[in-house]
Structure 1
Amino acid sequence: MAADDDAEVFEITDFTTASEWERFISRVEEILHEWKLVSSPPRLPAPKGAYTNGTWEEKTEELTFANFKFSLTHSWLKSKDEKTEKSAEKESGEEDDDNDREITPTVYGDLMNMDNDFPSRAHCICRWYGLQDFVTLSPANNTEAVLGESKAKLLLSSVNIALTDAGCCVPIFVQIHQKWRRLYQGTCVLPGSNIEFGMVHLKRIPAQYNHLAGLLDVFKSKLGSVADPRPPVSVAVRFLYGLYDWVNSPWTQALPVRSSKVRKLNDYDDEVGCSGFDQLPFGACEDPVSALSLYCTWPSLSEDMIVENQVYSDLDPLQAPLWSVRIQMTEDPQCLLATTTLTTETTIFK
């Protein structure tokens, strides 16, 4: 009997073998569970000044995706314990509706809260979006970077799947390009909705977007509301004036004047010590300040109250309600007192 030349060839594919991509998503999901971000209850918006004066904490875990090492970091603002918050609410006579807190995620409350806009000391994500709880995914090595749009989209899709499978409402931001650029793309998965955080770096700002009117047009075009008329938009404005070309020249400082009432060491004429601490050399040999920044801020305004376009602006820096100054110090400046050695001498008379 002849063999059948048309015998079927069976090929078995093992779908249980996880790929690098699947293991990466699974590891992200495991870390979210280990950090208990899946079961974390919604938090109230942070009080005014909490981002600057409060205590921030971080947790970091390393994971690998196709021989590329990443660092997953959870940053959050440390708040009071639940018992303290409840006792404070009872003393003030305020009662929270538990149902409202359950359906209002923390990210929504943070985005709508304007009490902590422009914090002076905070993570850049917190400064840009006003978030008190977020996760960042960045390359573990400072010299490496996520370059290319396809890689960035792959990472965003991966963390999106991990957030969806875990049911986590904490936003995750993926850092792309070089670290010094601080460029992030983020996503947040909520019950019934998603939030996408996008950024763009431009060498030159288009003329139509170089004022508040143009920025409001971009913002309104992204809204899905069809209500007519639309409610006015609340804005917070800050102008930055920086002096970075700081003239760094040596200071000419006269040497301290020695007093005639100095001690003599044996029969030598060498002067030892000085008559008082006011004669010690003091000051910096070079300017310790390398940069100066001035911030003019309007904390909360309605778009109906101000006009700023290409030909006219109501935003006069001299009339800004809030001014703040920030200085950047020179790295390791040379100071005279730091190079002076003070010694004490004890003489015993018999």
Structure 2
Amino acid sequence: MFSGQCEGCGLRTCFEMIHLRHIPPHFSHLSGLLNLFRSKLNGVNVNPPDINIAARLTYCLRHWNVEDWPVGPLSSGDGSDCFLSLPVGASSDPIQEIHLCAVWPLLTELTVTDNETNSGFDPFNAPKWSIRTQLLDNPGLLLSKD
């Protein structure tokens, strides 16, 4: 998804966000998107300065837990387990997906290279990270009643 805005000399141009099922090769990197952005400004008597860029790469982990989910009674470890023999928790992993985002909130076009052959967007060097989990709608919970 892409969005952009150009402001200057009393002119504001907004570029709407789109979602493409199949990305054309020239739009799969920043230099192609910057060329599209500049082509939209060709008819305007504005010479844009360096273009500011914000970028976010999102990685989605699905079916990430391949091990069996441990189900069983709690144990205190001191032999007094008679009161802790009720099974608790979820019968399977309640997490459906994990979304991990690497974020570059402010860059200029001169500080990063992203084209068909090279990319300066190394997630390990992103200044901000965020994570989000998506839970199952109805995970099987022990000690619950519907």
Query: Structure 2 CA distance, aligned partners of 1:245 and 1:251?
Result: 13
Corresponding residue to 1:214 among 9, 25, 32: 32
1:237 is matched with which residue? 55
Query: Structure 2 CA distance, aligned partners of 1:302 and 1:196?
Result: 18
Name whichever structure is richer in helix by fraction.
1
Cα distance 1:248–1:239, how it changes in 2: closer, same or farther (>3 A)? same
Query: Structure 1 CA distance, aligned partners of 2:16 and 2:105?
Result: 23
Q: Does 1:205 align with 2:23?
A: yes
Query: Structure 2 CA distance, aligned partners of 1:195 and 1:305?
Result: 23
1:158 is matched with which residue? none
- TM-score for the superposition, normalised by structure 2: 0.74
The structure with more radius of gyration: 1
1:230-282 deviation per Cα after TM superposition (whole angstroms, max 9, x unaligned): 3011110000111124457763423457xx98xxxxxxxxxxxx844x44322
Given that 1:250 and 1:285 are in contact with CA atoms closer than 8 Å, whether structure 2 keeps it comes out as no
Q: Does 1:338 align with 2:144?
A: yes
Corresponding residue to 1:325 among 127, 131, 142: 131
Say what the alpha-carbon RMSD is for the aligned residues: 3.1
1:251 is aligned with what amino acid?
Answer: W
The 3-state SS of whatever aligns with 1:337 is coil
Cα distance 1:196–1:234, how it changes in 2: closer, same or farther (>3 A)? closer
The 3-state SS of whatever aligns with 1:217 is helix
Query: Structure 2 CA distance, aligned partners of 1:231 and 1:225?
Result: 14
> Per-residue deviation at 1:218?
0.8
1:73-125 deviation per Cα after TM superposition (whole angstroms, max 9, x unaligned): xxxxxxxxxxxxxxxxxxxxxxxxxxxxxxxxxxxxxxxxxxxxxxxxxxxxx
Q: Does 1:283 align with 2:89?
A: yes
The 3-state SS of whatever aligns with 1:226 is coil
Count of paired positions? 134
User: Unaligned regions of 5+ residues in structure 2, if any?
Assistant: 5-10
Given that 2:100 and 2:131 are in contact with CA atoms closer than 8 Å, whether structure 1 keeps it comes out as yes
Query: Structure 1 CA distance, aligned partners of 2:125 and 2:99?
Result: 18
> Per-residue deviation at 1:292?
0.8
1:29-80 deviation per Cα after TM superposition (whole angstroms, max 9, x unaligned): xxxxxxxxxxxxxxxxxxxxxxxxxxxxxxxxxxxxxxxxxxxxxxxxxxxx
2:133 is aligned with what amino acid?
Answer: I
2:88 is aligned with what amino acid?
Answer: F
Query: Structure 1 CA distance, aligned partners of 2:14 and 2:112?
Result: 29
1:303 is aligned with what amino acid?
Answer: E
Identity of aligned residues (%): 35
1:338 is aligned with what amino acid?
Answer: S
1:238 is aligned with what amino acid?
Answer: R
Cα distance 1:203–1:248, how it changes in 2: closer, same or farther (>3 A)? same
- TM-score for the superposition, normalised by structure 1: 0.34
The 3-state SS of whatever aligns with 1:286 is coil
Name whichever structure is richer in strand by fraction.
2
Structure number with the bigger relative contact order (C-alpha 8 A, sep ≥ 6) is 2
